[in-house]
Each structure stands twice: as C-alpha cells, then as structure tokens.
Homo-oligomer: A and B are copies of this chain.
Amino acid sequence: MKNISFENIKLGDGFWLDRYNLNKNSSIKSVYERFEETGRFDTLRFNYTEGKIKPGVAQDSDVAKWIEAVSYLYASDHDCCAEEIKIIDELVESMEKNQMADGYLNPYFMQLDPENRFVRRPAHELYSAGHLIEAAIAYHKATGKDRFLNVMLRFADCIEKAFITEKTAKFQTPGHEEIELALVKLYDHTGNKKYLDMAMHFIDIRGTTDEPSIDANVVNLKYDQHHMPVREMTEAEGHAVRAAYLYIGMSEAAQRTGDVELQNACDRIFDNITKKRMYITGGIGSSGMGEAFTVTYDLPNLKAYTESCAAIALLLFCLSLQNKRLDARYGAVIERIMYNNLLSSTSADGTAFFYENPLEIHMHSLEKETCMADHKRSKLPIRTRQKIFQTSCCPPNINRIFARIGDVFFSEQNDALVINQYAALTLNNDNISLEQKTVYPLNGKVTIKATNNKYKKVFLRIPEWCDDFEITAPVSYRSENGYIVLDGMTDEFEITVDFKMSAYFVEAHPNVRYDCGRAALCYGPVVYCIERCFNDYELNALTVNSDCEITVVDNGKNKLPDLTLTAGLKKEFDGLYRKKSSDEEQVPLVFKPYYTFANNGECDMMVWVNCR
C-alpha cells in the first residue's frame, strides 16, 4: 500500500478547490507578511544586529513549514509562487553562506548563543532541523534545485556526529520530536540508509536515557514521551503535537524496517487515541496545561485545547498508517479531521488562525478568569482567530497541509486503486486517468470515470457516518474492511455511488462525562454547532429533541447547508432553584458547520447540545 501523492491530483471546481485556493491565495501571503514583520524570515538571513528583532528559538521552523507549503503549491502549479520562490532562493543562499563549517545550522544559537549548540534539550534544535529537512526535500522535489537539500544533508551529517558517532551533544533525545519523521523522508528521498538508521536511533533511545523532562510545569516524563521505551507504549501521552510527530516517525520507520514491534505500538496508540482521547472534531490534546493528552475519556469542551498542529499531526499519522494496511478507520479519522478541526483552524478570509479549537464558548465564563490571579493568563481558549502568535507553529502548518491536501484522496496496492476521500478532482498517473465528479460534502453522490486504467480492483471507502449507499458499477461489489471492493475492472469504467447524506445526532461514549445528556448534530462528515450570534439564547438553556425534524437549508454552490430545527428553551425565573417544571418555550435554531464558528465576532458557541 502507498498513498498516491498530491502531484498526481488536480482538484476540480468544488469545496476543496475553494479551500485549496484560499490557502494558496490568502493564507500563504498572510503568514508571509506576519513572519516578515516579526523577523522570522530575517532569522534565516542571519542578519541580526543590535536593535533588530532577536531571532527566537525555533522560529526557523516556522519559515521552514512555509517554504514546504510554497514548494507543494509550486509542485502542483509551476505558474504560481514566483515571488515566494525568489524569497526562498535568497534564504537558501543565506543558509548556504552562513552554515558552519561542520554543517551546523541554527539561526538562534549561531547568532545569539553559539556556546550552547546542542546543550539545551528544550531548545528545539533538532525540531527545527527536522522541519528544514522536510522543507528542503519538498523544495528539491518541486524545483529540482538541490542547494537547500545539500545544506540540510550537511546538517544531518553534523547531527549524526554530535548525537551518534561522537556523542558530543549534551543531551541524547530531542525535547520536541520531528526529526525522526524528517530523517525517514530524507532516507526515502536520497536512498541513503544512514538517515533511516538515524531515525531509528532517535526513536529507540527515547524513554531509555536519564534526561530530565522538558517542562517544569510537568510532573512526569510523559510531557515529551520520555516516560518509557516507545515499543512499550499503549497510550497517547503528554504534549499532543510532540507525541503525534513521534508516532508518525515510528510508523514511517516501522514500515521501512518491517519492525513489527514498533508497528504494534503505533497500532495500539492509534486505537487509544481514536477510542479514548479524540474529540468529535478530530482534535487531540484536551488540556492547555502542557498542551497535552490527559486521561481516558477526559474531553472537556469549554477548555478543549485541540491545537491545530495536533490535528494536522494526527491526520499525518493516519495517512502513514493508511500506507500500511487497508482499513477504513484511518480514512474515517482523516475525514473527521479534514472537515472539522482542520477547517476550523482558519478564518473565512484565510488570513487568521486558531491555535486552539474549542468545542464550546461561554463568554460569561471568561469573566471568572479575571477575578483570580491564577487566571491572569487566560485558561480558556481565545475566541478570535489570530494572524500570528508568539509561538506561531500552527499557521504555516496549516499552509503546508492544505497545500498537500491532495495526498489524502487515493492510495494504491499492487493492482488496486483505493479511493479514501471524495472530492471533485482528477487523478492522472501511469496507471489511470480518473475523474471524480461530486459536490461532496454537500451531498454524497460521486461519479467516477476512468480511462487508461491498469488497476484490476477499485476500493471505495464507505464513510463512517454512512448507513446506506447505492452504487452502479460495471461489476458487482463486496465489502472489506469498511471499503466497497470492485474486482475485475477494465481499461475504462464508470462508477456512480451515492452515500446517502443527511443530518443526524451523535452521542459520545457514556464515560465522556462532559457530553452526557448531550448530542452533536452532524451532516455527513461535518460536525455542526450553534452560535449565539445566530441564536440569541443562553445556549445551555436549550434542549433539542433527537427525534425532531431537521431542515437542510441550501446555501448555494460549494457551501455547506444550514441545519434548522425547533428546540426547547428553559425560561429564566427569579431566583436560583425551583421545582422542576416543563416551562419551556419552543424556539427555532440554526446550526452551522462547526468549522465556520467565530467568523462573526466573539460569542457563545456549542457543539454538544442538551438533548432528550
């Protein structure tokens, strides 16, 4: 099995092309401008002088992700990004010129703290290196220019010396994972096995050395997954982005080495995340404290941390697992993330981003935070998407994931084409010319026409939310691992499938105490929410009836429908307590896709609504 790369995919007019273009035309530029303003690009120009903005630790990684995003966009469309490519070329020249003789490259340490190269474990040197390696590979693939790649190969060799052969570094495992997965990519790209060995070194040594934990706020070693050898892990623990980056590295390495034990650890962790520790939006990391996983079934809505980067990392972990075996669960989680936590990360105009993606906003609860000192720093997520953050990892991560969104749609295995996600697009590679026509996720009808087909089998993932579908195909079908399997396809074929899409209520496992007595309204893969700006009631005072009639209100081309229904509203009364009454008013509610929330000012929002 392997995923078919985005280079082979061309999005057609539809929901995802709109979203792709928003990133390409708006987000990429917005992030560039904010990063230029805040000196992030300057860090890689190595031009710091007294009085200028000081390079920040790991800020080179922000730029690296932006370069990676631009590279993906350019790979799909050589007519785009001319200015951005020029900027990157200049940065590459600067990196090349400033790289130290031994290959070391880190703008923070080189310009501000040269004595402490590879000394401070929390300082993200290997994390930044990983992102720069990913960027260099993407740039080489997109442009054919190899100077950036060569810079990073020299740095990788420097890292190998410091951490493996000569062990001059003052710590042994990176405080923030990322380099593991980047080194596997470097192995794939160069074919040089030493980079795979380096990845395995960093994976295997984790949890076995005596290094202190990273964060003084953290009571144990779970924060950076340093609490046990990775092969023994059964639960997703600690800082969610660190964790998921590690899991991607583990999964990718296991697939190259055939390491069954490591693969089993990945499988256990995937089960643990998706069955115990994941929001309905695909978000992970429920606690702002440590940006971390906490305990099983602990999924608070109001304080949901659910960092955009963590959802992206989980998506990439699933994409890696999907490379390993045919199982619709991976595509289901990817779809859950795509249409919810990932889309919510970005404002409607593409210029602003969420770090946290809460599932509930209650403005009155914010007042509480101002009345006690411990709450000076808001513990509740911010309610407005921001153009930039102090730690601005999310915006360029959002840039790069949308630029390579084409990666999620297809995989292939021997003589089989596997369709994992649905969108209006064309796929062209040596094995097939395929066109998918659909307005998915506005409805579930998909028409697939292929010519020049060499695949014998076609697999179509049955969406997790779909109870009923109709299919017309040249051959009869069977089901396997959550996929429709069509066997005996010929040179040309046409398939139409209708995954019957409607609005429906979802309930959470009864042990998720925050969601008990509540339900979330969904439409196909899309989680919906109510916002006070469209429903001016105390949202907590509303109760929907799960049997109620739900009206699907068309919003036009490429726009998801509104869902409307009538709900009960508890009336206010004087005092705090009274005998339970059935004193309810029936009020109309409009639900809109969760991901669109907070585009109309700060107000109360709720995914999990009281439900009888």
Contact = CB atoms under 8 A, between A and B. Distances in A.
Interface of A: 215-220, 222, 274-276, 278, 280, 287, 289-290, 292, 294-298, 362, 364-365, 367-368, 370-376, 465, 467, 504-513, 516-520, 538, 540-541, 543, 546, 569-581, 610-612
A503 to B, nearest CB: 11
Q: How many copies does the complex hold?
A: 2
Given A511-B572, A512-B576, A579-B504, A218 B372 contact: yes
A578 B507 contact: yes
Given A511-B572, A540-B511, A575-B274, A504 B295 contact: no
A562 B317 CA distance: 52
B373 A576 contact: no
A568 to B, nearest CB: 10
A319 B517 CA distance: 39
Nearest to A512: B576
A509 B538 CA distance: 11
Contacts of A289: 372, 374-375
25 contacts: A219-B371, A219-B372, A219-B375, A219-B376, A275-B575, A287-B368, A295-B367, A298-B364, A298-B365, A362-B513, A465-B579, A506-B580, A507-B570, A507-B578, A509-B572, A510-B538, A510-B572, A511-B538, A511-B572, A516-B540, A516-B610, A517-B543, A517-B610, A519-B580, A520-B577
A541 B290 contact: no
A571 B510 contact: yes
With most chain B CB atoms within 10 A of its CB, the pick from A289, A506, A516, A581 is A516
A509 B505 CA distance: 26
A368 B220 CA distance: 12
Given A292-B372, A372-B218, A517-B610, A580 B507 contact: yes
Contact of A576 (B219, B370, B465, B509): B509
Contacts of A465: 579
A278 B75 CA distance: 62
Nearest to A298: B368
B290 A508 contact: no
A571 B509 CA distance: 8
A279 to B, nearest CB: 9
A268 to B, nearest CB: 15
Contact of A372 (B287, B512, B520, B611): B287
Nearest to A505: B580
B364 A297 contact: yes
B510 A570 contact: yes
A278 B576 CA distance: 8
Nearest to A514: B540
A240 to B, nearest CB: 13
Contacts of A217: 372-374
A579 B505 contact: yes
A541 B368 contact: no
Contacts of A569: 510
- Sort A-B residue pairs by CB-CB distance and give the 8 closest, nearest first: A510-B541, A510-B570, A517-B610, A505-B580, A513-B540, A516-B540, A219-B373, A612-B612
Nearest to A576: B509
A573 B509 contact: yes
A517 B289 CA distance: 29
Residue among A222, A370, A505, A541 with the most chain B CB within 10 A? A541
Contacts of A222: 371
A586 B376 CA distance: 46
B570 A506 contact: no
Contact of A373 (B218, B274, B518, B541): B218
A275 B578 CA distance: 11
A109 to B, nearest CB: 28
Contacts of A508: 576-577
